[in-house]
Chain A
């Protein structure tokens, strides 16, 4: 158990760079380019960590404190997520609530820090980010509520076990929950069609614009945390999809690694195939997550009380 936990921690810390590398490579593939090395995100991170941060003198302690806080909360949240073989580092009753609010705390400070700089761009980014979060968060809890109702258990790890044995309706619920989580992944990790991670245009950015003033180690920590968040959400999707107890530990661990890779390729392909949505249409896209969540909840109700 302790070894699995250690491996999980290592994956959580270092898989982000590979996942980002795979996305970049996929996009390069579709664009007909050779693309940068798979490890480029890692080298970029190393470069950032060697640099000092430039801090504007209009900012307060919040600006300096936020990168550390974001990193810490994201990593802490990651410990609750089922990874290799469906096991998480910390398995705790009600862990998902702590999980959601750790991420929420990080985001809250990200918003504060963006506004702390006094830049008109960053305030705009903060308002967009806050707005999207208000849609994502309830939807996430609705899904969690359905899954809890189904499993009758309050931990992340066993939440997903129940679905595999729930029959046809269970598979439907699983698919809807996965779709909802994909929307959440695209939104939270700022991917196309919600956000454009490669743009240099401040006016169209959401997440990137909030960290315009961060540099050096601060920026390094933030990008690391963003990568970890990506792995966390990928892990949630993987946990829903992989029938752990049917495969056994070894195969399901393998399936998990494959899932991380496949989801990254999927995101890269999606980014190559479609354009980013107009800002006013992004809301409609994220609302799709709420719809999926509500249908999941209804199906769960039918499953539990239908007869």
Chain B
């Protein structure tokens, strides 16, 4: 382990302690360490580029960091993707940003850049036809282009092109890092993003947030999960034209986000979390109200899901549709909910726990990797989150007298490197922050779970009917803006 530095979630390390190798050695190390890649990004360094690699050991809750330096003349290296496919998006991204080419990369195409021609994969033949959808869609959907290669109703291949929402978010963090910016990166994961950002900053400021604030944050995070999962169950029902589910889940979701509104004044929890703590308290009366509402939510979700998943017409749409096998999911590096639905047991709440998450739910989930599996997993996670919220709410009075906000007196520590992982509803939201010697951010890297999972969707659609694509898409519900940054 000479060539790696070990760290933990939210544990800052000194920048100069990160081993710096050449790329050939680093590549060898990556293949040898046999861990999961969670970060692979560059930073301009002198005349060249420094490449940071973060590998996660999910069983031990450890992170391993290393780096490699490319001088200005080194413009290529031997691709890692051909040995570990999970690297493929990371290497494409690195190539796009720094023009350092991974040689023999099997799928080296633009990630976000639209100035370059995008070479779509094509199948040729008399009976093959292409269907292009987007980037402008019907309904309220983010922009993305989907290119299907079909034979009649059957999809042979789907290629997804994104990047239409690229706003340069990571650079904005260097100019003016604020909680508001963190909240605006991905609108359906406001809490998760803000939490990851705040935790990273707190680690760099070396401040400890009060227990009370930590609990309120976790309650909000779980409420976000519950709200979005319920909304997605409604959307899945909507796409199968099962109107009962659509209507009831829609109404139930409103109850949850209205509870967030009562806490923070925003239905999506904007303005709740701040570096140093939280802006709003949950007093006993509010806690009682929310618990009562959530009890009703739990009962409604349980009843509706049970009815829906008993309906033969619904089941026939969900089962064996959009299957991602465990092997594919593992190889592609799927994370979060979509990964768990295929049997990849990753949940950073438990894998990289803070002191509040001790007991992992040991009830085994039968993962089948299809839309049905992703639907049932959502239901299971809603129930799990509701019980977590109850648990945290009960712990709140114990810390009644603690402050909401810890004052921030000093600036960020200089020359530090910190990784902050938060399990949003979609999966691990990973923010990595690096500071320069003046205590300013010199690099801010965000990885949304969608970055790993988009390819999983492309995989799921293969050999399915093209009319089932919207259903597969909803069952993943990936983020465009989180991917495009």
Listed in ascending order, the chain A residues whose CB lies under 8 Å from chain B are 27, 30-33, 120-121, 123-124, 127, 192-193, 196, 198-204, 271-281
Minimum C-beta distance from A169 to chain B (A): 32
User: Chain A contacts of B313 at CB under 8 A?
Assistant: 193, 274-277
**Given known A-B contacts A200-B139, A201-B138, A279-B153, A274 and B470 have beta carbons under 8 A apart:** no
Tell me if A203 and B139 are in contact (CB < 8 A): no
Stretch at the interface among B72-80, B191-199, B239-247: B239-247
CB of B151 within 8 Å of the partner chain = no
Residue from A31, A33, A127, A203 having most chain B Cβ neighbours under 10 A: A203
Query: Taking CB as reference atom, which chain B residue is nearest A280?
Result: B465
Tell me the residues in window 348-364 of chain B with beta carbons closer than 8 Å to chain A beta carbons.
Answer: none
Q: How far is the CA of A27 from the CA of B247 in the complex (A)?
A: 10
Tell me if B465 and A279 are in contact (CB < 8 A): yes
Tell me if A204 and B470 are in contact (CB < 8 A): yes
CB of B132 within 8 Å of the partner chain = yes
Query: Taking CB as reference atom, which chain A residue is nearest B251?
Result: A32
Residue from B240, B251, B311, B465 having most chain A Cβ neighbours under 10 A: B240
Q: Please, could you name 26 A-B residue pairs with CB atoms under 8 Å apart, sorted by A?
A: A30-B243, A30-B244, A31-B244, A31-B247, A32-B247, A32-B251, A120-B132, A124-B153, A192-B241, A193-B241, A200-B138, A201-B139, A201-B470, A203-B131, A203-B469, A274-B313, A275-B311, A275-B314, A276-B313, A276-B317, A277-B317, A278-B316, A278-B321, A278-B467, A279-B468, A281-B316
A-B pairs, top 8 by smallest CB distance, nearest first, are A31-B247, A276-B241, A275-B242, A196-B241, A275-B240, A275-B313, A200-B138, A201-B470
Among the listed B239, B248, B251, B468, which residue makes an inter-chain contact with A199, where contact means beta carbons less than 8 Å apart? Answer: B239
CB of B466 within 8 Å of the partner chain = yes
Tell me the residues in window 301-324 of chain B with beta carbons closer than 8 Å to chain A beta carbons.
Answer: 311, 313-314, 316-317, 321
Q: How far is the CA of A16 from the CA of B355 in the complex (A)?
A: 64
Tell me if B129 and A198 are in contact (CB < 8 A): no
User: Chain B contacts of A31 at CB under 8 A?
Assistant: 243-244, 246-247
Minimum C-beta distance from A156 to chain B (A): 33
CB of B299 within 8 Å of the partner chain = no
Tell me if A199 and B241 are in contact (CB < 8 A): yes
Tell me the residues in window 418-473 of chain B with beta carbons closer than 8 Å to chain A beta carbons.
Answer: 465-470
Q: How far is the CA of A249 from the CA of B244 in the complex (A)?
A: 40
User: Chain B contacts of A127 at CB under 8 A?
Assistant: 152
* Besides the known contacts A201-B138, A278-B317, A280-B465, 13 further A-B residue pairs in the complex with CB atoms under 8 A apart: A31-B247, A33-B247, A120-B129, A124-B153, A196-B241, A201-B139, A201-B470, A202-B138, A203-B469, A204-B468, A271-B241, A276-B240, A276-B242
Minimum C-beta distance from B300 to chain A (A): 12
Q: How far is the CA of A175 from the CA of B209 in the complex (A)?
A: 72
CB of B133 within 8 Å of the partner chain = yes
User: Chain A contacts of B129 at CB under 8 A?
Assistant: 120, 123
Among the listed B243, B317, B469, B470, which residue makes an inter-chain contact with A272, where contact means beta carbons less than 8 Å apart? Answer: B243
Q: How far is the CA of A201 from the CA of B469 in the complex (A)?
A: 10
User: Chain A contacts of B470 at CB under 8 A?
Assistant: 201, 203-204
Q: How far is the CA of A198 from the CA of B139 in the complex (A)?
A: 12
Q: How far is the CA of A280 from the CA of B311 in the complex (A)?
A: 18
Tell me if A274 and B247 are in contact (CB < 8 A): no
Q: How far is the CA of A201 from the CA of B474 in the complex (A)?
A: 11
Minimum C-beta distance from B436 to chain A (A): 48
**Given known A-B contacts A120-B130, A280-B465, A198 and B247 have beta carbons under 8 A apart:** no
Q: How far is the CA of A1 from the CA of B474 in the complex (A)?
A: 56
Minimum C-beta distance from A177 to chain B (A): 25
Q: How far is the CA of A193 from the CA of B468 in the complex (A)?
A: 14
Tell me if B317 and A124 are in contact (CB < 8 A): no
Residue from A121, A123, A202, A281 having most chain B Cβ neighbours under 10 A: A202
Q: How far is the CA of A204 from the CA of B469 in the complex (A)?
A: 8
Chain B: residues with Cβ within 8 Å of the partner, total of: 32
Residue from A33, A123, A278 having most chain B Cβ neighbours under 10 A: A278
**Given known A-B contacts A279-B468, A280-B153, A274 and B311 have beta carbons under 8 A apart:** yes
User: Chain B contacts of A203 at CB under 8 A?
Assistant: 131, 133, 466-467, 469-470
Tell me if B243 and A27 are in contact (CB < 8 A): yes
Task: Encode B125-138 as 1/0 by CB contact (under 8 A) with A.
Answer: 00001111100001
Listed in ascending order, the chain B residues whose CB lies under 8 Å from chain A are 129-133, 138-139, 152-153, 237, 239-244, 246-248, 251, 311, 313-314, 316-317, 321, 465-470
Among the listed A193, A199, A273, which residue makes an inter-chain contact with B244, where contact means beta carbons less than 8 Å apart? Answer: A273
User: Chain B contacts of A199 at CB under 8 A?
Assistant: 239, 241
Q: How far is the CA of A274 from the CA of B314 in the complex (A)?
A: 7
Q: How far is the CA of A282 from the CA of B246 in the complex (A)?
A: 22
Q: How far is the CA of A279 from the CA of B246 in the complex (A)?
A: 20
User: Chain A contacts of B317 at CB under 8 A?
Assistant: 275-278
User: Chain A contacts of B131 at CB under 8 A?
Assistant: 120-121, 124, 203
Among the listed B133, B242, B251, which residue makes an inter-chain contact with A202, where contact means beta carbons less than 8 Å apart? Answer: B133
Q: How far is the CA of A32 from the CA of B248 in the complex (A)?
A: 8
Q: How far is the CA of A123 from the CA of B132 in the complex (A)?
A: 13
Tell me if B467 and A204 are in contact (CB < 8 A): yes
Query: Taking CB as reference atom, which chain B residue is nearest A278?
Result: B317
User: Chain B contacts of A277 at CB under 8 A?
Assistant: 313, 316-317
Q: How far is the CA of A273 from the CA of B469 in the complex (A)?
A: 23
Query: Taking CB as reference atom, which chain B residue is nearest A268?
Result: B243
Query: Taking CB as reference atom, which chain A residue is nearest B246?
Result: A31
User: Chain B contacts of A273 at CB under 8 A?
Assistant: 244
Q: How far is the CA of A124 from the CA of B154 in the complex (A)?
A: 11
Minimum C-beta distance from A168 to chain B (A): 32
Among the listed A33, A202, A275, which residue makes an inter-chain contact with B241, where contact means beta carbons less than 8 Å apart? Answer: A275
Q: How far is the CA of A279 from the CA of B467 in the complex (A)?
A: 7
Q: How far is the CA of A150 from the CA of B177 in the complex (A)?
A: 83
User: Chain A contacts of B251 at CB under 8 A?
Assistant: 32
Minimum C-beta distance from A288 to chain B (A): 14
Q: How far is the CA of A271 from the CA of B247 in the complex (A)?
A: 13
Q: How far is the CA of A203 from the CA of B131 in the complex (A)?
A: 9
Query: Taking CB as reference atom, which chain A residue is nearest B146?
Result: A203
Q: How far is the CA of A27 from the CA of B313 in the complex (A)?
A: 18
Minimum C-beta distance from B143 to chain A (A): 15
Query: Taking CB as reference atom, which chain B residue is nearest A193?
Result: B313
Minimum C-beta distance from A305 to chain B (A): 40
Q: How far is the CA of A172 from the CA of B240 in the complex (A)?
A: 34
Query: Taking CB as reference atom, which chain A residue is nearest B242?
Result: A275
Q: How far is the CA of A120 from the CA of B317 in the complex (A)?
A: 24
Q: How far is the CA of A132 from the CA of B85 in the complex (A)?
A: 43
Q: How far is the CA of A124 from the CA of B131 in the complex (A)?
A: 9
Query: Taking CB as reference atom, which chain A residue is nearest B131?
Result: A120
**Given known A-B contacts A203-B133, A204-B467, A204-B470, A272 and B316 have beta carbons under 8 A apart:** no
Q: How far is the CA of A30 from the CA of B245 in the complex (A)?
A: 11
Q: How far is the CA of A127 from the CA of B467 in the complex (A)?
A: 13
Minimum C-beta distance from A129 to chain B (A): 13
User: Chain B contacts of A279 at CB under 8 A?
Assistant: 153, 465, 467-468
Minimum C-beta distance from B484 to chain A (A): 22
Query: Taking CB as reference atom, which chain A residue is nearest B474?
Result: A201
Q: How far is the CA of A244 from the CA of B316 in the complex (A)?
A: 42
Tell me if A278 and B468 are in contact (CB < 8 A): yes
